[in-house]
Protein backbone atom coordinates (compact mmCIF):
# COMPACT_ATOMS: atom_id res chain seq x y z
CA UNK A 1 0.00 0.00 0.00
CA UNK A 2 1.46 3.33 -1.09
CA UNK A 3 1.09 6.54 0.89
CA UNK A 4 -0.18 9.40 -1.23
CA UNK A 5 -0.57 13.05 -0.32
CA UNK A 6 -3.35 14.69 -2.34
CA UNK A 7 -2.95 18.44 -2.37
CA UNK A 8 -6.03 20.39 -3.42
CA UNK A 9 -5.76 24.05 -4.38
CA UNK A 10 -8.59 26.58 -4.49
CA UNK A 11 -10.18 26.17 -7.89
CA UNK A 12 -13.61 25.10 -9.05
CA UNK A 13 -12.08 21.83 -10.28
CA UNK A 14 -11.58 20.83 -6.63
CA UNK A 15 -14.79 18.83 -6.88
CA UNK A 16 -13.06 16.50 -9.35
CA UNK A 17 -10.39 15.77 -6.74
CA UNK A 18 -13.02 13.97 -4.66
CA UNK A 19 -13.44 11.47 -7.50
CA UNK A 20 -9.66 11.18 -7.85
CA UNK A 21 -9.44 10.47 -4.11
CA UNK A 22 -12.05 7.73 -4.41
CA UNK A 23 -10.19 6.08 -7.28
CA UNK A 24 -6.88 6.17 -5.43
CA UNK A 25 -8.47 4.68 -2.32
CA UNK A 26 -10.18 1.93 -4.32
CA UNK A 27 -6.79 1.03 -5.79
CA UNK A 28 -5.60 0.29 -2.26
CA UNK A 29 -3.62 3.43 -1.48
CA UNK A 30 -3.55 5.31 1.81
CA UNK A 31 -4.42 8.90 0.90
CA UNK A 32 -4.15 11.99 3.06
CA UNK A 33 -5.73 15.16 1.70
CA UNK A 34 -4.00 18.51 2.24
CA UNK A 35 -6.28 21.28 0.95
CA UNK A 36 -5.50 24.95 0.91
CA UNK A 37 -7.83 27.32 2.79
CA UNK A 38 -9.24 28.44 -0.54
CA UNK A 39 -9.94 24.83 -1.54
CA UNK A 40 -12.20 24.44 1.49
CA UNK A 41 -14.42 27.13 0.02
CA UNK A 42 -15.24 24.67 -2.77
CA UNK A 43 -15.20 21.29 -0.95
CA UNK A 44 -15.44 21.17 2.85
CA UNK A 45 -13.12 19.38 5.26
CA UNK A 46 -15.75 16.78 6.31
CA UNK A 47 -15.89 15.51 2.72
CA UNK A 48 -12.13 15.03 2.54
CA UNK A 49 -12.00 13.43 5.98
CA UNK A 50 -14.84 11.03 5.24
CA UNK A 51 -13.45 9.94 1.87
CA UNK A 52 -9.84 9.62 3.00
CA UNK A 53 -10.31 8.32 6.53
CA UNK A 54 -7.82 10.89 7.82
CA UNK A 55 -8.27 14.24 9.58
CA UNK A 56 -7.82 17.32 7.44
CA UNK A 57 -5.67 20.36 8.21
CA UNK A 58 -4.50 23.34 6.19
CA UNK A 59 -2.01 24.87 8.62
CA UNK A 60 1.17 23.77 10.36
CA UNK A 61 -0.24 24.28 13.84
CA UNK A 62 -2.94 21.61 13.89
CA UNK A 63 -1.39 18.48 15.41
CA UNK A 64 1.86 20.37 15.86
CA UNK A 65 3.22 17.66 18.17
CA UNK A 66 3.63 15.38 15.11
CA UNK A 67 5.37 18.12 13.08
CA UNK A 68 3.01 17.52 10.10
CA UNK A 69 4.70 20.00 7.76
CA UNK A 70 7.80 17.79 7.80
CA UNK A 71 6.43 14.32 8.52
CA UNK A 72 3.78 14.24 5.78
CA UNK A 73 6.19 15.10 2.99
CA UNK A 74 8.95 12.83 4.24
CA UNK A 75 6.76 9.73 4.53
CA UNK A 76 4.79 10.01 1.29
CA UNK A 77 5.46 7.80 -1.73
CA UNK A 78 3.79 10.30 -4.08
CA UNK A 79 2.49 13.85 -3.78
CA UNK A 80 -0.27 14.83 -6.22
CA UNK A 81 -1.64 18.37 -6.46
CA UNK A 82 -4.99 18.40 -8.28
CA UNK A 83 -6.12 20.95 -9.11
CA UNK A 84 -2.96 23.03 -9.13
CA UNK A 85 -4.06 26.64 -9.61
CA UNK A 86 -1.92 29.42 -11.06
CA UNK A 87 -1.44 30.74 -7.53
CA UNK A 88 -0.32 27.36 -6.20
CA UNK A 89 2.15 26.88 -9.06
CA UNK A 90 3.57 30.36 -8.41
CA UNK A 91 3.96 29.71 -4.70
CA UNK A 92 5.54 26.30 -5.29
CA UNK A 93 7.97 27.65 -7.88
CA UNK A 94 9.09 30.46 -5.60
CA UNK A 95 9.56 28.13 -2.63
CA UNK A 96 6.86 29.67 -0.46
CA UNK A 97 5.91 27.86 2.75
CA UNK A 98 2.84 29.75 3.92
CA UNK A 99 0.46 26.83 4.47
CA UNK A 100 0.63 23.10 5.10
CA UNK A 101 0.55 22.14 1.41
CA UNK A 102 3.47 24.34 0.37
CA UNK A 103 5.42 23.11 3.42
CA UNK A 104 4.80 19.54 2.28
CA UNK A 105 6.00 20.41 -1.22
CA UNK A 106 9.29 21.67 0.23
CA UNK A 107 9.85 18.64 2.44
CA UNK A 108 8.69 15.90 0.06
CA UNK A 109 11.38 13.44 -1.00
CA UNK A 110 9.01 11.50 -3.29
CA UNK A 111 7.90 12.25 -6.87
CA UNK A 112 5.59 15.29 -7.13
CA UNK A 113 2.83 15.46 -9.71
CA UNK A 114 0.97 18.70 -10.54
CA UNK A 115 -2.31 18.74 -12.48
CA UNK A 116 -2.92 22.41 -13.40
CA UNK A 117 -6.45 23.78 -13.84
CA UNK A 118 -7.28 27.42 -14.56
CA UNK A 119 -8.69 29.75 -17.19
CA UNK A 120 -6.96 29.64 -20.56
CA UNK A 121 -5.49 33.15 -20.24
CA UNK A 122 -3.93 32.22 -16.90
CA UNK A 123 -2.44 28.97 -18.26
CA UNK A 124 -1.02 30.74 -21.31
CA UNK A 125 0.40 33.70 -19.34
CA UNK A 126 4.23 33.85 -19.51
CA UNK A 127 4.45 33.91 -15.71
CA UNK A 128 2.63 30.59 -15.43
CA UNK A 129 4.77 29.13 -18.20
CA UNK A 130 7.93 30.20 -16.38
CA UNK A 131 6.67 28.66 -13.13
CA UNK A 132 5.88 25.38 -14.88
CA UNK A 133 9.35 25.34 -16.48
CA UNK A 134 10.93 25.95 -13.08
CA UNK A 135 9.03 23.10 -11.45
CA UNK A 136 9.92 20.71 -14.27
CA UNK A 137 13.58 21.71 -14.06
CA UNK A 138 13.44 20.71 -10.39
CA UNK A 139 12.12 17.27 -11.31
CA UNK A 140 8.38 17.72 -10.80
CA UNK A 141 5.86 16.22 -13.21
CA UNK A 142 3.48 18.89 -14.55
CA UNK A 143 0.66 17.53 -16.69
CA UNK A 144 -0.54 19.78 -19.45
CA UNK A 145 -4.23 20.58 -18.84
CA UNK A 146 -6.99 19.32 -21.09
CA UNK A 147 -8.98 21.51 -23.45
CA UNK A 148 -12.72 21.87 -22.99
CA UNK A 149 -15.43 23.62 -21.05
CA UNK A 150 -14.16 25.75 -18.18
CA UNK A 151 -16.08 27.80 -15.62
CA UNK A 152 -19.08 29.56 -17.12
CA UNK A 153 -19.15 29.75 -20.91
CA UNK A 154 -15.37 29.68 -21.33
CA UNK A 155 -13.75 26.88 -23.28
CA UNK A 156 -10.09 26.15 -24.07
CA UNK A 157 -6.93 24.69 -22.57
CA UNK A 158 -6.95 24.82 -18.78
CA UNK A 159 -9.41 22.10 -17.87
CA UNK A 160 -8.39 19.56 -15.23
CA UNK A 161 -7.87 16.13 -16.85
CA UNK A 162 -10.43 13.51 -15.89
CA UNK A 163 -9.87 11.75 -12.53
CA UNK A 164 -9.44 8.36 -14.27
CA UNK A 165 -6.56 9.77 -16.31
CA UNK A 166 -4.92 11.38 -13.28
CA UNK A 167 -5.26 8.15 -11.29
CA UNK A 168 -3.65 6.20 -14.14
CA UNK A 169 -0.70 8.61 -14.28
CA UNK A 170 -0.29 8.51 -10.51
CA UNK A 171 -0.27 4.71 -10.53
CA UNK A 172 2.28 4.65 -13.33
CA UNK A 173 4.65 6.91 -11.40
CA UNK A 174 4.24 4.69 -8.34
CA UNK A 175 4.94 1.58 -10.42
CA UNK A 176 7.93 3.14 -12.17
CA UNK A 177 9.31 6.17 -10.30
CA UNK A 178 11.81 6.77 -13.12
CA UNK A 179 8.85 7.84 -15.26
CA UNK A 180 8.74 11.00 -13.18
CA UNK A 181 12.23 11.85 -14.43
CA UNK A 182 11.27 11.19 -18.06
CA UNK A 183 8.10 13.27 -17.70
CA UNK A 184 9.85 16.15 -15.92
CA UNK A 185 12.62 16.28 -18.52
CA UNK A 186 10.06 15.97 -21.36
CA UNK A 187 12.35 13.45 -23.06
CA UNK A 188 10.00 13.07 -26.04
CA UNK A 189 9.66 16.83 -26.59
CA UNK A 190 10.06 17.85 -30.22
CA UNK A 191 8.81 14.51 -31.53
CA UNK A 192 5.56 14.21 -33.48
CA UNK A 193 3.80 10.93 -32.86
CA UNK A 194 0.94 9.27 -34.72
CA UNK A 195 -0.94 6.50 -32.91
CA UNK A 196 -3.92 4.42 -33.91
CA UNK A 197 -6.27 2.85 -31.37
CA UNK A 198 -9.42 0.76 -31.15
CA UNK A 199 -11.09 -1.65 -33.53
CA UNK A 200 -12.65 -0.92 -36.89
CA UNK A 201 -16.22 -1.83 -37.83
CA UNK A 202 -17.27 -2.94 -41.29
CA UNK A 203 -20.98 -2.37 -41.97
CA UNK A 204 -23.28 -5.21 -43.01
CA UNK A 205 -26.28 -2.90 -43.11
CA UNK A 206 -27.09 0.45 -41.44
CA UNK A 207 -27.31 -1.13 -37.96
CA UNK A 208 -24.98 -4.17 -38.04
CA UNK A 209 -21.26 -4.54 -38.53
CA UNK A 210 -18.29 -6.91 -38.39
CA UNK A 211 -15.85 -5.85 -35.69
CA UNK A 212 -13.55 -7.06 -32.95
CA UNK A 213 -13.09 -6.75 -29.19
CA UNK A 214 -10.37 -4.09 -29.16
CA UNK A 215 -11.18 -1.40 -26.59
CA UNK A 216 -8.50 1.11 -27.58
CA UNK A 217 -7.09 1.17 -24.05
CA UNK A 218 -3.52 0.41 -25.16
CA UNK A 219 -3.52 3.12 -27.82
CA UNK A 220 -4.91 5.66 -25.39
CA UNK A 221 -2.32 4.66 -22.80
CA UNK A 222 0.39 5.19 -25.41
CA UNK A 223 -1.00 8.63 -26.23
CA UNK A 224 -1.28 9.60 -22.55
CA UNK A 225 2.28 8.45 -21.82
CA UNK A 226 3.75 10.25 -24.84
CA UNK A 227 1.96 13.52 -24.03
CA UNK A 228 3.18 13.29 -20.43
CA UNK A 229 6.73 13.05 -21.77
CA UNK A 230 6.33 16.13 -23.96
CA UNK A 231 5.55 14.73 -27.42
CA UNK A 232 3.08 16.22 -29.90
CA UNK A 233 0.52 13.44 -30.27
CA UNK A 234 -2.18 12.72 -32.82
CA UNK A 235 -4.47 9.78 -32.09
CA UNK A 236 -6.62 8.13 -34.76
CA UNK A 237 -9.36 6.38 -32.80
CA UNK A 238 -11.58 3.68 -34.26
CA UNK A 239 -14.80 3.31 -32.23
CA UNK A 240 -13.29 4.09 -28.84
CA UNK A 241 -15.45 5.26 -25.95
CA UNK A 242 -12.69 6.64 -23.72
CA UNK A 243 -11.99 10.22 -22.59
CA UNK A 244 -9.47 12.05 -24.76
CA UNK A 245 -6.05 12.20 -23.04
CA UNK A 246 -5.02 15.73 -22.10
CA UNK A 247 -2.93 17.44 -24.75
CA UNK A 248 -3.74 14.91 -27.48
CA UNK A 249 -5.42 15.63 -30.84
CA UNK A 250 -7.96 12.94 -31.76
CA UNK A 251 -9.39 12.02 -35.15
CA UNK A 252 -12.30 9.59 -35.01
CA UNK A 253 -12.85 6.93 -37.66
CA UNK A 254 -15.13 3.93 -38.06
CA UNK A 255 -13.98 1.61 -40.85
CA UNK A 256 -10.64 0.20 -41.93
CA UNK A 257 -10.71 2.34 -45.06
CA UNK A 258 -11.19 5.47 -42.95
CA UNK A 259 -8.40 4.40 -40.61
CA UNK A 260 -6.06 3.78 -43.54
CA UNK A 261 -6.90 7.19 -45.03
CA UNK A 262 -6.19 9.10 -41.81
CA UNK A 263 -3.01 7.20 -41.00
CA UNK A 264 -1.70 7.79 -44.51
CA UNK A 265 -2.69 11.46 -44.33
CA UNK A 266 -0.72 12.17 -41.15
CA UNK A 267 2.13 9.62 -41.36
CA UNK A 268 4.50 11.76 -43.44
CA UNK A 269 4.75 14.40 -40.70
CA UNK A 270 5.29 11.91 -37.86
CA UNK A 271 8.63 10.93 -36.31
CA UNK A 272 7.16 7.76 -34.82
CA UNK A 273 4.07 5.90 -36.03
CA UNK A 274 2.41 3.30 -33.78
CA UNK A 275 -0.21 1.03 -35.29
CA UNK A 276 -1.88 -0.29 -32.14
CA UNK A 277 -5.42 -0.34 -33.57
CA UNK A 278 -7.00 -3.64 -34.59
CA UNK A 279 -8.31 -3.13 -38.14
CA UNK A 280 -10.69 -5.74 -39.52
CA UNK A 281 -8.89 -8.00 -41.98
CA UNK A 282 -12.06 -8.50 -44.02
CA UNK A 283 -15.19 -6.51 -44.88
CA UNK A 284 -18.47 -7.40 -46.58
CA UNK A 285 -18.14 -7.07 -50.34
CA UNK A 286 -21.25 -4.89 -50.24
CA UNK A 287 -23.40 -3.50 -47.45
CA UNK A 288 -27.20 -3.39 -47.57
CA UNK A 289 -28.62 0.13 -47.65
CA UNK A 290 -31.54 -0.92 -45.45
CA UNK A 291 -31.72 -3.10 -42.36
CA UNK A 292 -31.72 -6.79 -43.22
CA UNK A 293 -34.92 -8.28 -41.80
CA UNK A 294 -35.19 -11.65 -40.12
CA UNK A 295 -38.14 -13.67 -41.41
CA UNK A 296 -39.36 -17.24 -40.80
CA UNK A 297 -38.19 -18.11 -44.30
CA UNK A 298 -34.69 -16.66 -43.77
CA UNK A 299 -32.77 -19.16 -41.64
CA UNK A 300 -29.30 -18.26 -42.88
CA UNK A 301 -27.47 -15.14 -44.06
CA UNK A 302 -24.65 -15.47 -46.54
CA UNK A 303 -21.97 -12.81 -46.54
CA UNK A 304 -19.18 -12.56 -49.07
CA UNK A 305 -16.11 -11.03 -47.45
CA UNK A 306 -13.20 -9.37 -49.21
CA UNK A 307 -9.80 -8.52 -47.80
CA UNK A 308 -9.07 -5.05 -46.41
CA UNK A 309 -5.80 -3.26 -47.23
CA UNK A 310 -2.84 -3.93 -44.92
CA UNK A 311 -2.42 -0.56 -43.22
CA UNK A 312 0.82 -1.32 -41.37
CA UNK A 313 2.55 -2.75 -44.43
CA UNK A 314 1.36 0.23 -46.46
CA UNK A 315 2.82 2.69 -43.97
CA UNK A 316 6.18 0.93 -44.22
CA UNK A 317 6.09 0.88 -48.03
CA UNK A 318 5.11 4.56 -48.26
CA UNK A 319 7.68 5.78 -45.72
CA UNK A 320 9.76 8.65 -47.12
CA UNK A 321 11.80 9.54 -44.01
CA UNK A 322 14.37 6.81 -43.27
CA UNK A 323 14.62 8.07 -39.69
CA UNK A 324 10.92 7.49 -39.05
CA UNK A 325 10.20 4.64 -36.63
CA UNK A 326 7.16 2.45 -37.30
CA UNK A 327 5.80 0.22 -34.54
CA UNK A 328 3.29 -2.56 -35.11
CA UNK A 329 1.26 -4.75 -32.79
CA UNK A 330 0.58 -8.48 -33.02
CA UNK A 331 -2.31 -9.87 -30.99
CA UNK A 332 -2.10 -13.63 -31.36
CA UNK A 333 -4.00 -16.61 -29.94
CA UNK A 334 -0.80 -18.41 -29.05
CA UNK A 335 -0.88 -21.45 -26.79
CA UNK A 336 2.70 -21.01 -25.53
CA UNK A 337 5.27 -18.18 -25.25
CA UNK A 338 7.39 -19.87 -27.92
CA UNK A 339 4.45 -19.98 -30.31
CA UNK A 340 3.76 -16.29 -29.64
CA UNK A 341 7.34 -15.41 -30.60
CA UNK A 342 7.18 -17.64 -33.68
CA UNK A 343 3.95 -15.98 -34.86
CA UNK A 344 5.45 -12.57 -34.12
CA UNK A 345 8.56 -13.26 -36.18
CA UNK A 346 6.41 -14.36 -39.10
CA UNK A 347 4.33 -11.18 -38.91
CA UNK A 348 7.45 -9.06 -38.51
CA UNK A 349 8.86 -10.52 -41.73
CA UNK A 350 5.64 -9.69 -43.59
CA UNK A 351 5.18 -6.16 -42.25
CA UNK A 352 8.86 -5.04 -42.18
CA UNK A 353 8.23 -2.48 -39.43
CA UNK A 354 10.94 -1.42 -36.95
CA UNK A 355 9.39 -2.81 -33.76
CA UNK A 356 6.60 -5.28 -33.14
CA UNK A 357 4.77 -5.50 -29.82
CA UNK A 358 3.56 -9.04 -29.16
CA UNK A 359 0.74 -10.09 -26.87
CA UNK A 360 -1.32 -13.23 -26.49
CA UNK A 361 -5.08 -12.74 -26.59
CA UNK A 362 -8.09 -14.90 -25.83
CA UNK A 363 -9.39 -16.43 -22.61
CA UNK A 364 -10.13 -12.99 -21.18
CA UNK A 365 -6.64 -11.61 -21.84
CA UNK A 366 -5.74 -8.13 -23.10
CA UNK A 367 -8.95 -6.79 -24.66
CA UNK A 368 -10.82 -4.49 -22.29
CA UNK A 369 -8.44 -5.12 -19.39
CA UNK A 370 -6.34 -2.48 -17.64
CA UNK A 371 -3.32 -4.78 -17.51
CA UNK A 372 -1.46 -6.84 -20.08
CA UNK A 373 1.77 -8.68 -20.85
CA UNK A 374 3.89 -7.89 -23.88
CA UNK A 375 7.17 -8.75 -25.55
CA UNK A 376 8.92 -6.35 -27.94
CA UNK A 377 10.52 -7.73 -31.10
CA UNK A 378 13.21 -5.56 -32.66
CA UNK A 379 14.59 -5.34 -36.18
CA UNK A 380 17.76 -7.04 -34.96
CA UNK A 381 15.72 -10.14 -34.14
CA UNK A 382 16.01 -9.68 -30.40
CA UNK A 383 12.92 -10.31 -28.27
CA UNK A 384 12.52 -8.68 -24.87
CA UNK A 385 11.69 -10.60 -21.76
CA UNK A 386 7.96 -10.61 -20.95
CA UNK A 387 6.84 -7.24 -19.58
CA UNK A 388 3.71 -7.30 -17.43
CA UNK A 389 1.73 -4.54 -15.75
CA UNK A 390 -0.83 -1.87 -16.43
CA UNK A 391 -1.19 -0.71 -20.00
CA UNK A 392 -0.04 2.75 -18.90
CA UNK A 393 3.19 1.31 -17.49
CA UNK A 394 3.72 -0.86 -20.58
CA UNK A 395 3.17 2.20 -22.78
CA UNK A 396 6.20 3.84 -21.19
CA UNK A 397 8.28 0.70 -21.83
CA UNK A 398 7.32 0.93 -25.51
CA UNK A 399 8.27 4.61 -25.68
CA UNK A 400 11.59 3.87 -23.98
CA UNK A 401 12.45 1.53 -26.86
CA UNK A 402 10.82 3.45 -29.74
CA UNK A 403 12.13 6.82 -28.53
CA UNK A 404 15.62 5.40 -28.12
CA UNK A 405 15.51 3.93 -31.62
CA UNK A 406 14.44 7.28 -33.07
CA UNK A 407 17.26 9.11 -31.26
CA UNK A 408 19.81 6.60 -32.57
CA UNK A 409 18.78 7.42 -36.15
**Residues with catalytic function:** 212
> Considering only CA atoms, which of 253, 237, 239, 260 is closest in space to residue 310?
260
Do strands 232-238 and 325-332 pair parallel, antiparallel, or not at all (unpaired)?
unpaired
Q: How many CA atoms lie within 13 A of 206 on its CB side?
A: 4
The backbone region for 139, taken as left when phi is positive above 0, alpha when psi lies in -120 to 50, beta otherwise, is left
Per 3-state DSSP, the chain is made up of helix, strand and coil in percentages (nearest 5) of 35, 25, 40
Is the preceding peptide bond at 83 cis, omega within 30 degrees of 0?
yes
**72: three-class secondary structure by DSSP:** helix
Q: Is 302 exposed, middle or buried (0-12, 13-18, 19+ CB in 10 A)?
A: exposed
275 neighbors 260 (Cβ within 8 angstroms) = no
Beta-bridge partner residues of 371: 390
Helices (runs of H) and strands (runs of E) counted in the chain: 14, 19
Dist. CA 146–CA 367, nearest whole Å? 26
DSSP string, 1-19: --EEEEEE-SSTTHHHHHH
Which residue in 304, 207, 225, 336 sits closest to 272, CA to CA? 225
Give how far the C-alpha of residue 119 lies from the chain's centroid of Cα atoms, to the nearest Å: 23
Residues 6 or more apart in contact with residue 28 via CB below 8 angstroms: 1
CB 7 within 8 A of CB 81: yes
Query: Beta-strand (E) ranges in 36-134?
Result: 78-84, 112-116
Amino acid sequence: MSRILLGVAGGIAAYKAAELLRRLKESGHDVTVVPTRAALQFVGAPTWAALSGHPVATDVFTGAETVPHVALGRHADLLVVAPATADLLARAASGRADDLLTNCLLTATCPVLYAPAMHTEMWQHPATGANVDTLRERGAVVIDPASGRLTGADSGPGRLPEPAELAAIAQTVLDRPDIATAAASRDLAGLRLLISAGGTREPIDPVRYIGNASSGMMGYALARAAALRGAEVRLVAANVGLPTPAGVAVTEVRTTAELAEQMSKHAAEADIVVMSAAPADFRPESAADRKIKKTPETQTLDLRLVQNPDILAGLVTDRTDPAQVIVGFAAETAATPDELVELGRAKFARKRCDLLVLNAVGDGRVFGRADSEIRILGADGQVSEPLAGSKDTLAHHIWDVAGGLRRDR
